[in-house]
Amino acid sequence: MAMLSSGKLVNLLRLADAAGRFKMLAVDQRASLQAALAKVTGREPEDVTHEEMAKTKQLIIEVLAPSSTATLIDPVYAFPRAVKIIPHRVGILVASEESGYEPAGPGGRERKVKLIDGWSVAKTKRAGANAVKLLIHYTPEASSEVRGHQQRLVRTVADECVREDIPFLLEVVTYSVDQATTDTPEFARKRPHHVIEAAREFSSGAYDVDVLKLEFPCDLKYTQEFRHRIVDQKERPVVYNLGEVRAFCRELDAAAGRPWVILSGGVDIQEFIASLELAVEAGASGFLCGRAIWQGVIPAYPHGERMRQLLTSEGISNFERANAVAERARPWFAHRSVGGWDQVQVQNSHEWYRRYPG
Amino acid sequence: MAMLSSGKLVNLLRLADAAGRFKMLAVDQRASLQAALAKVTGREPEDVTHEEMAKTKQLIIEVLAPSSTATLIDPVYAFPRAVKIIPHRVGILVASEESGYEPAGPGGRERKVKLIDGWSVAKTKRAGANAVKLLIHYTPEASSEVRGHQQRLVRTVADECVREDIPFLLEVVTYSVDQATTDTPEFARKRPHHVIEAAREFSSGAYDVDVLKLEFPCDLKYTQEFRHRIVDQKERPVVYNLGEVRAFCRELDAAAGRPWVILSGGVDIQEFIASLELAVEAGASGFLCGRAIWQGVIPAYPHGERMRQLLTSEGISNFERANAVAERARPWFAHRSVGGWDQVQVQNSHEWYRRYPG
């Protein structure tokens, strides 16, 4: 039996479709969206106003949230408008980390994440959301001090999610302490190990994570099969072939002790769909994807009607492609840590209602 | 602008259909269900076990909850099983009052309600439900001490719902201190006044009720038009005609300062559909109905397969009839206390996320 607490179960169900598959939209970007809006309008990121961020997110959510089983928003720009326009049958996840990271460790090449000041898991629950999302940067290359900091942060948020009885979705983004960019053959080679190690670490029972949001474990741009099919002029060496990529995906699934979904990390839609297919083949329970679906509308900023047209055409079409692939995903309750729908049960002791914590 | 707090808005949306109409199922009966199961099996109510109650509710919820926009359950028997089987797109309401009432006032002919010992609004919220339901018995005939007790109880639960930021649905059942039964011409005559007064009282800003669940203001069995069309052999005098009933419904709508739905109170399905039509015509936002929809299966107890057949045929058919009528109901946000969808807004002050209480 997989005993779940009531608040965890009810809200996990609200994040997925009726079959238990996650088809989730991310609109919680902050610094990256600010930078993108600044770039297309020839300004500095700090000149992009709160209102511009809020309106852009509102538009994306209005058009795309109906295609999702749940939508991830940030509490700073998106939340107050989003709760009115996210359809009643679509779940709501809220980001809890401050955008970006603080340089840390030797030479400032490591990364510490901090929580949004003034926001909390308790507020997320009280405001009516269905899940808490935390993004952490993590690499086995980092110093034990920085890894320890990130681990403690995960533990803290996990504890608060247990206290509030709300699902906890942990997103892990890997990096290399040696390189500022991840688009290198060296990092492409390291990536599988880093992603798999991170999945293993945060699957430990010590963390109480309900769903893992993981990077695709390889960089498809460094495969023989995809390096010329990706819309990108850059010449890249071959680091692995698709057979090896599939093996890394299987290894990731073996390391992920909790249901897992993949993120898009701003790759283009072709690459995202290809990686989603491979991830789903290996056992992923769906996706939580933002920019791969909607970044094509940013160049039209600030022309609202043109952006809406692009979202309604390309945006929805991208989403439908991803949803079609996710139809083959493993339902979250079919993950070995749960054991199937028949095994799902809410703690049902004698006088449950008295024993349940208030 | 109708300023709503986020938790109230998100969860109100989850109780209704996309157009804001409530088509809700009640499976929170306790004493009345226990009595009914005892009767068909020739036993005393206290001999009906917890498991029998839980299984009966599970079966009803399994078959009928998918037809509802939200399902009302009790925390004692229904909750732990219900949360697994209520579909993810259907809202959950939880009863907070102890079944029945305590005799009170002069001669013990008045009624005090008490909350379920060991349960709370905070537990309802934490467990993942979308609304708190409180039933109170109320009559303007009661002593000021007993009325005051009931008013304070409503105020207490309303305060907790504000603190937890969860919608509060208040059900008011009227009665007469003179009579044990309500099926009399005397009470039929009093009913409109009692129901309308109760709606007026609990619409006051002093209570913070989000949705009122009201009795139909008249007893249709005492109208010229319906007294022979109701499946019941009893001869009843005429108390009012349909024109007068319609006028009472309009008066009720004028008194109800919050969106309101009607309850079935165990009348048969014909009578319920007729009263729902009249209530909707007057401005009701839908229904929250239990026994009128599913009581027909109780005589088949304990034959699970026969009960399931009846639920799947008659039960769903009854629900579909009610849903069809509710298609013409007033969306909750079109009620004058809200002013229309365009007026709905979450408090959106500067740095909302900091100011929102945790």
Best of A98, A347, A353, A355 to mutate (most B CBs within 10 Å, chain B): A353
Please give the ipTM for the structure prediction: 0.96
Contact status, residue B153 vs residue B134, Cβ threshold 8 Å: yes
**Which 3 state secondary structure label does DSSP give B289?**
strand
Q: Please give the pLDDT value at position A231.
A: 60
Residue B202 above 80 pLDDT?
yes
**What percent of chain A has a predicted confidence (pLDDT) above 90?**
91
Q: What share of chain A is helix, strand, coil (3-state, %, to 5)?
A: 50, 15, 35
How many Cα atoms sit within 13 Å of A216 on the Cβ side?
A: 28
Cβ pairs bridging A and B (under 8 Å):
130
pLDDT the model gives residue B230: 61
Residue A353 with chain B: CB contacts under 8 Å = 75-76, 79, 116, 118-119, 123
pLDDT grade, residue A282 (50/70/90)?
very high
Beta strands B286-289 and B22-27, pairing class = parallel
Nearest 5°: phi and psi at B213? -110, 110
End-to-end CA distance of chain B: 24
Across all residues in chain B, what is the average pLDDT? 96
User: Given an 8 Å threshold on Cβ–Cβ distance, is B84 in contact with A119?
Assistant: no
The tens digit of pLDDT for each residue in B169-199 reads: 999 999 999 887 889 999 999 999 999 999 9
Q: How many CA atoms lie within 13 A of B114 on its CB side?
A: 6
Instruction: Tell me the per-residue pLDDT of B102-151, one tens digit each, with 9 for 90 and over.
Output: 999 988 999 999 999 999 999 999 999 999 999 999 999 999 999 999 99
What is d(CA A196, CA B175) in angstroms, rounded to the nearest whole number?
66
Which residue of chain B has the CA closest to A17? B88
Cα separation values, B175 from B218, B234, B250, B290, B340, Å: 13, 21, 21, 20, 34
Cα–Cα distance, A39 to A307 (Å, whole number): 16
Which pLDDT belongs to residue A224?
A: 87
CB A189 within 8 A of CB A230: no
Q: How many whole angstroms separate alpha carbon A223 and alpha carbon A193?
A: 16
Residue type, position B11, single letter:
N
Q: Are the Cβ atoms of A84 and B7 closer than 8 angstroms?
A: no
pLDDT tens for residues B218-250? 999 999 888 776 657 788 999 999 999 999 999
Question: Which one of B353, B354, B355 would you mutate to disrupt binding with A, by most A Cβ within 10 Å of its Cβ?
Answer: B353
Beta-carbon count within 10 A of B320 CB: 12
> What's the pLDDT score for residue B358?
87
pLDDT at A227: 80
Q: Which of A9-18, A54-63, B229-238 has the lowest mean pLDDT?
A: B229-238
Residue A230 has pLDDT above 70, yes or no: no
Residues of B in contact with A10 (CB under 8 A): 83, 92, 127-129
What is the least distance, in Å, from the CA of A312 to any CA of chain B? 20
